[in-house]
Every structure is written in C-alpha cells, then in structure tokens.
Structure 1
Amino acid sequence: MTRSDARRPPPRRLRRFVLRLLGLAVAAAVVAAGALAVLVVATPSVADAADRVASQASTHGAHVETTVPTRVAAALIATEDSRFATDPGIDPLGVLRWAGGTIQGRSDAGGATLDQQLAKLLYTDGRQDPLAQAEQVGLALKLAHTYSRPRILELYLSTAYFGHGYYGVTAAAEGYFHRSPDALTWPQAALLAGLVQAPSAYDPVVHPDLARSRRGHVLARLVATGMLTEAQAAVFDRGGLQLAAR
C-alpha cells in the first residue's frame, strides 16, 4: 500500500459521509420549503397591489406608470436585482443568508429582490425588522406569481422614492432633468436607479459627489450585465450629473 492509499478514507466511510450530507441537504430543503409555505399562507393577498400604488401616488402627487422606461428599468434591474427576469420573487440564497443572519442576531436583508422591495413599500410600511422581512418574503412570492415582470416594474416605479421629495420615476425624471422617463440618457437613468437604495444620502442636489459615485456603480453594473460597453460607461462616468437648471 502506498502512502497516498493510506491517507485515502475507506470507501464505506466515504459513502456514509456523502449520504449524511445528502440527508442534511434534503432536510434543509424540506424545512425551507415548509417555512416559505407558512409565510405564503400567513401573509395577506396581493390582489390590491395596484390599488395601494394608486393610493400612495395620490398621497404623494405621483404619476401611476403604465409603461416601463427601458433605460431606467435596465439600470434598476442591473443594480438591485440582476436575476429579476427569472427569479420567483425572492433570491433563495439571499433568503438563506438573511435567515442565517437573523438567527445569529445580525441585521442582514440578504439581498432583497425588487418584489421584496415592492412588498416593503406597499405592505409593511417600509419596516426592516425581522418580522417585516419575513412577511416581505411571503408577499414577494405572491407578487411574482400574481403579476408579470413588466407589471411589477410599473408598480415599483410608481411608488419608489427617489429623493428630494420625488415619489415615482416620472416625478423624479421631470424634477431632476425636466424630461419624461423614456427620454432619459443612460447616465440620467443610472443616476435615478442608484437613488432607490438610499434616496436622501445620494440626493444629487444635496450630495452631488456621492450621487456621482453611486451613478458610477450603476454604470459598472450595466457593463456587468451587458447593457453597456466599458468604453461607453467610461465616457458616461466622466460626464456631469446633467441636472436641469434650478
């Protein structure tokens, strides 16, 4: 017997180890599926999502979107939820990270999808405590099952806050740039998409340097997702914020 053979674990022991790992994986999957089923049952219906959007739009003087501005949507998806087109409303790995962080007492949203963010805006009053985040997971699954991907984007872009008092993408596009959302340039669309994460912190009127840095991140994400070339992004990143005169 060679030295390498002596170090190799016996086949029977290796099989038991692999089977044990498979058993743990199956058990974890069953528990996770059960937990998601409970969340779906325990959360309210999302059939009234459009009514909630209309109510919030009325409160904030926002415009209810009926079309999706292509560049803003691409920038938003690239930055906030790159698997938006195919995910089931949640990112399973993100949910597992959130669950693990919650168990360990850490505050970790786990990479909330656009569906989860919409659920937060419409159903949990923007809360980010563990209970609210759990509710957002169940609601996101329902939203993704009930509405098409373009419809989710319309609802989100009608409701999201873009800083400086602007609710909804139309108010933000007109307020910052004096343009309609579908007429925005790539740098302008990237700027708006970057705002939803922290609208006050990245407000381009109040914090132009932070807004420009955040826009650079969004442009890099657009390169990563194939929407822009590195050369295009570099040119856009060198330009100013293109805000309308005030």
Structure 2
Amino acid sequence: MKSLWSAFVKLLVLAIVGGALLATVAVLMANRQLPSLDALTAFRSTPDYVPLRDFPRDLAAAVVAIEDERFYLHDGIDYVGVIRAGVANLSDELSQGASTITMQVARNFFLSRQKTYTRKLYEVLLSYRIEHAMSKDEILELYMNKIYLGQGAYGFADAARVYFGKSLEQLTLAECAMLAGLPKAPSANNPVVNPRRARQRQAYILHRMLELGKISRGEYDGALLEPMRLR
C-alpha cells in the first residue's frame, strides 16, 4: 500500500511539473507571436480621438465603476474581480463581468470574439504588455474612444451624439450612467430598443457609483428622477 501511494505521489509531481513546463512553452511561443502595439499609437493620432481630460468626470467614473472598479489597482488581470464576478453572476445578471478594461482594449484592437483558450492566452499576454507600455489613463482613454456602444456608435463621444444629440460636456450624470451601461450588451441595454432594461442598468450603475463614493446621495437621487430624453 505504501509503495502504491509513493508511486501515485511521484506521478502527480511529474504531471504537475510537466504541465508547468508545457504552460511555460506555450506562453513563450505566444509571446513571440504577439502583435506590435503600434496600432494603439496610431489610433490615438486619429482626427476624432478624444483625450481623457475632455470626457466628463462622471462618465469616466461610471465606466470604471461598472466595467472594472479595481482598474487602477490591478496589472491588467483582476484576479479578485474574477472570483467575485463568478460568485455574483450566480444570482445577479446585472453584475459586472471578469474582463478588465485593459483586456477589453486588447480584444477590441487585436483579437476576435472567438472563445478559445488560445485567444484567451493572447488576451492575457497582450493585457500585460499594454499595462507595461501605457499609463492607466491612456488605457482608459483608448477604451472610451474605441468601444462599440450600439446604434452604430463607437466611443462615448459618438454615443453622446447618437443617443442624446449632445456633446460630451453637455451630458448629465444620468446620461453618463446610461451610456456606461452599454458596453456589456449594446443591444440589450440600448435605451432606444429596450428603455426599461436600459433604466435598470442605469440605476444599478448609479448605485455602484454611490457605494464607491463617486457621487453623493443627493446626486444619486436626482439622477434617478431625471427623465430620459433621447435624441
């Protein structure tokens, strides 16, 4: 019995070591095939690109609150968020997902939507590379200019015009929260197509902003009461 247990332990150790070696080789090979980040630099030079300072403070806060509340703390992969999202999603379909803002930037610029282990590995490695090459504000800026928000709108400046007929500086807190609810599901949370669900998502985001100390109780109450005025 003792010899059988010893043999099992040895096989287990060999399997772990072998798995670790295979994973290391896979990472090294994937790293060599990663695309250059020149596309990010080029995108930041396009005519309609909006610097982060020109986005309303409430809009940036709403986006971080719902998409990646630990954005300024993690290194591209939020392991705490992955665990929390996995637990929360069992009971709350409005909870935030596990993909960080950096991972979404990597996906939107370089990767397909195909759900494979290989694509996920590239997404993780690209996220680490982006985090080491750019500041957090630059990454958030890229995200807010690139993300698809439904109705043919790419980026929040475009979405402000499409949904509300406004420029960024004219957006209210309520409108910022509604726009921030679009990235996860641009069709399902679209206020034009599904105003009721868009309102639910908006209220959830405002509540998260209140919990995180990004807005006051008075601002929260006022935003909830604001009527939705679409373009």
Q: What TM-score, normalized by structure 2, do the two folds share?
A: 0.75
Q: Is the 8 A contact 1:46 1:143 kept in 2?
A: no
Q: CA deviation at 1:164?
A: 0.9
Relative to structure 1, is the Cα distance of residues 89 and 97 closer, same or farther in structure 2, using a 3 angstrom cutoff? same
1:79 equivalent to 2:66? Answer yes
Q: CA deviation at 1:241?
A: 2.0
Percent of pairs with identical residues: 31
Q: CA deviation at 1:110?
A: 6.5
Q: Structure 1 CA distance, aligned partners of 2:210 and 2:84?
A: 26
- Number of the residue aligned with 1:214: 201
AA matched with 1:49? A
Q: Structure 2 CA distance, aligned partners of 1:74 and 1:168?
A: 16
Relative to structure 1, is the Cα distance of residues 216 and 35 closer, same or farther in structure 2, using a 3 angstrom cutoff? farther
Relative to structure 1, is the Cα distance of residues 85 and 162 closer, same or farther in structure 2, using a 3 angstrom cutoff? same
Q: CA deviation at 1:39?
A: 7.8
Relative to structure 1, is the Cα distance of residues 121 and 127 closer, same or farther in structure 2, using a 3 angstrom cutoff? farther
- Number of the residue aligned with 2:167: 180
- Number of the residue aligned with 2:137: 150
- Number of the residue aligned with 2:183: 196
Q: Structure 1 CA distance, aligned partners of 2:117 and 2:77?
A: 16
Q: Structure 2 CA distance, aligned partners of 1:221 and 1:36?
A: 39
Q: Structure 2 CA distance, aligned partners of 1:37 and 1:96?
A: 23
Q: CA deviation at 1:221?
A: 1.1
Structure 2: runs of 5 or more not aligned: 1-15, 86-95
1:122 equivalent to 2:93? Answer no
- Number of the residue aligned with 1:67: 52
Q: CA deviation at 1:35?
A: 8.6
Runs of 4+ in 1 over 6 A off after TM superposition: none
Q: CA deviation at 1:153?
A: 1.4
Kindly report the root-mean-square deviation, in angstroms, between the aligned alpha carbons of the 2 structures. Answer: 3.3
Q: CA deviation at 1:53?
A: 3.5
AA matched with 2:39? A
Q: Structure 1 CA distance, aligned partners of 2:209 and 2:83?
A: 26
Q: Structure 2 CA distance, aligned partners of 1:110 and 1:120?
A: 15
SS state of the match for residue 195, structure 1? coil
Q: CA deviation at 1:36?
A: 9.8
- Number of the residue aligned with 1:18: none
Q: For each residue in 1:81-105, what CA deviation from the matched residue of structure 2 results, as whole angstroms up to 9, or x when unmatched?
A: 111112101112456799xxxxxxx
Q: CA deviation at 1:242?
A: 2.9
Q: For each residue in 1:39-97, what CA deviation from the matched residue of structure 2 results, as whole angstroms up to 9, or x when unmatched?
A: 87245144213256469x79xxxx32223412211100000111111210111245679
- Number of the residue aligned with 2:11: none
Q: Structure 1 CA distance, aligned partners of 2:126 and 2:35?
A: 8
Structure 1: runs of 5 or more not aligned: 1-26, 99-108
Relative to structure 1, is the Cα distance of residues 96 and 219 closer, same or farther in structure 2, using a 3 angstrom cutoff? closer
SS state of the match for residue 232, structure 1? helix
- Number of the residue aligned with 1:5: none
Q: Is the 8 A contact 1:223 1:230 kept in 2?
A: yes
State which of 198, 216, 220 in structure 2 corresponds to 1:229. Answer: 216
1:159 equivalent to 2:146? Answer yes
Q: Structure 1 CA distance, aligned partners of 2:162 and 2:71?
A: 28
Larger Rg: 1
Number of equivalent positions: 203
Q: For each residue in 1:194-217, what CA deviation from the matched residue of structure 2 results, as whole angstroms up to 9, or x when unmatched?
A: 100000111111111111111111
